[in-house]
Structure 1
Amino acid sequence: MGDKPPGFRGSRDWIGCVEASLCLEYFKGPQGRLCHVPRGAGLQGELERLHSHFAGGGGPVMVGGDADAQSKALLGVCLGPGTKAFVLVLDPHCWGAPKTPTELQIAGWVGWREVSTTFDSNSFYNMCLTSCNSEKQLPTQD
């Protein structure tokens, strides 16, 4: 695509959410909308956006950070009373033949995680919200 040096091709180097959104556009995949969260503690303020995204039929949300290098794919959000909230996290390293939901949960590939303990409050995060429909692009957050 031209955004990386020539030595990147064929390497095992990682890409982030920004590059993933570029790939989605380049390969005519689902629409990707980027959202930058300067600190993990700020994710609490993005829960309504995530809830609206999923409630409106939005697809998986790719998440990557700097201090928190554990990539995540969000598949849902559950807003509880007060500030308690959970996200349904899929480990994007999961591979192989589809298994039952129970097997995936037992193996730790997918599960509900509390937001306050899943994200590093000092790490920034980029989220790429995917959508197969032609929903209006929301502006990215700085």
Structure 2
Amino acid sequence: MTNLLSNVHEGAEVQFSSGNINLVSGNYEYYHYLCDGFDDRGWGCGYRTLQTLCSWMNDNFQQNVEVPSIRKIQEILVELEDKPRSFLGSRQWIGSFEVCLVIDKLYDIPCKIVHVNKGDNLSTIVETLKTHFEKFGSPIMMGGDVDCSSKGIMGIHVDKSEASLLIVDPHFVGKDLTKEFLQNKGWVKWQPLRDFLSSSFYNLCLPQAKSKTII
């Protein structure tokens, strides 16, 4: 396994001079396409975001569980009878519901699924996301239908009527990373809610596990 960067969102908040920011609490590793030598380009973003969430679980909650490989994730979903055996070794993507199932299986931690009918309605869950980071501090997985690519959410910024999400994008392919490179190239970025696709629905998976740094 290639050494993975940790906490790639750090420093991104300095671009804001006003408003309120709520961030992930605790450590995680950044999983992305090909990070372990397995070529999952074009379909593995949900698995990689799940692995990022699992790395946070290992550091903050239960350290005796290994971050599952893509193959292991598929095996768990078949074992839970969520997927048929033909799913093993396939390139089928997974979404927030599957992420919820795997986290519950590995860590005995429930996840809250939040559904947004279309991007225009993302503003309705701003308070839900703020409360999640305040209460739990765990990272969030986000997926959609038209904008079907999975991404991690590591924070939320709210300034008056404007809100932005801190996105950690697993679609990067490459090595020799730095946090500064990822942020400069937009793989880690603040994305205003208005920039999400209005025609897409979004599902978010909010692990109900509390960071060890939150009392």
TM-score (norm 2): 0.56
CA RMSD of aligned residues (A): 2.1
| Aligned match of 1:12 | 91
Instruction: Tell whether the 8 Å contact from 1:16 to 1:64 is kept in structure 2 after alignment.
Output: yes
Q: 1:98 and 1:24, CA in 2 relative to 1: closer, same or farther beyond 3 A? A: farther
**Equivalent residue in structure 2 for 1:40, among 119, 123, 126:** 119
Count residues with an aligned counterpart: 132
Cα distance in 1, alignment partners of residues 174 and 110 from structure 2: 25
Q: Does 1:61 align with 2:167?
A: no
Cα distance in 2, alignment partners of residues 102 and 31 from structure 1: 34
Structure 2: gaps spanning 5 or more residues: 1-79
Identity over aligned residues, as a percent? 39
| Aligned match of 1:123 | 200
**Equivalent residue in structure 2 for 1:76, among 155, 161, 181:** 155
Cα distance in 1, alignment partners of residues 193 and 167 from structure 2: 10
Instruction: Tell whether the 8 Å contact from 1:59 to 1:130 is kept in structure 2 after alignment.
Output: yes
Cα distance in 2, alignment partners of residues 97 and 60 from structure 1: 23
Cα distance in 2, alignment partners of residues 98 and 126 from structure 1: 32
**Equivalent residue in structure 1 for 2:188, among 110, 113, 118:** 110
Q: Could you tell which deviates more after superposition, 97-106 or 107-116?
A: 97-106
| Aligned match of 1:132 | 209
TM-score (norm 1): 0.82
* 2:104 match: secondary structure: helix
Q: 1:28 and 1:95, CA in 2 relative to 1: closer, same or farther beyond 3 A? A: farther
**Equivalent residue in structure 2 for 1:85, among 163, 166, 173:** 163
Cα distance in 2, alignment partners of residues 11 and 57 from structure 1: 34
Q: CA deviation at 1:97?
A: 6.8
Instruction: Tell whether the 8 Å contact from 2:138 to 2:210 is kept in structure 1 after alignment.
Output: no
Q: Which has the higher helix share?
A: 2
Q: 1:110 and 1:45, CA in 2 relative to 1: closer, same or farther beyond 3 A? A: same
Q: 1:14 and 1:47, CA in 2 relative to 1: closer, same or farther beyond 3 A? A: same
Q: CA deviation at 1:80?
A: 0.9
> What is the CA deviation profile of residues 80-132 of structure 1, one whole-angstrom value per residue up to 9, with x for unaligned ones?
12x21111000023477784321220232201111111x21121111001242
Q: 1:54 and 1:14, CA in 2 relative to 1: closer, same or farther beyond 3 A? A: same
Instruction: Tell whether the 8 Å contact from 1:31 to 1:133 is kept in structure 2 after alignment.
Output: no
Structure 1 stretches of 4+ with a deviation exceeding 6 A read 95-98
Q: Report the structure number with the largest CA radius of gyration.
A: 2
Structure 1: gaps spanning 5 or more residues: 135-142
* 1:27 match: secondary structure: helix
Instruction: Tell whether the 8 Å contact from 1:41 to 1:121 is kept in structure 2 after alignment.
Output: yes
Q: Which has the higher strand share?
A: 1
Cα distance in 2, alignment partners of residues 133 and 18 from structure 1: 20
* 1:92 match: secondary structure: coil
